[in-house]
Amino acid sequence: MKAGTIAQAQTSAFGVAEYIRQKHAAAEPDRPAMTAMKLQKVVYYCQAWYLAWEGRASFPEAIRAWASGPVCPALYELHQGHFEIEGGFFAKRLCVRSNLGTA
């Protein structure tokens, strides 16, 4: 690494989604949960803008074009069947998957 450069930590779609959800909760404290569809679309826009600005992906998980809009299948796998996403949603599910050895 060159002197004066900052190491770039690799993030994940799950980290980006949780960050977005936290910002949403802070902006709308009376309605802290966010719909899964809205979250998927904002994650897509974050990835698209990061690609445009930095020339590389901010997270490795794929995003696909589905009939209802852009979807990150890795996120969808965890929130499938849930309309709203609350705080810590992905962290809890990833922890369970990791403990079960299915991650």
Query: 38-78 pLDDT, tens per residue?
Result: 999 999 999 999 999 999 999 999 999 999 999 999 999 98
Give the single-character DSSP code of 57: -
Question: Does the pLDDT at position 5 exceed 50?
Answer: no
**Is this structure's pTM higher than 0.85?**
no
Question: Does the pLDDT at position 97 exceed 60?
Answer: no
Extract the tokens encoding 62: 């794929």
| Pairing outcome for strands 69-71 and 34-35 | unpaired
11-47 pLDDT per residue, tens = 899 889 988 988 888 888 888 788 999 999 999 999 9
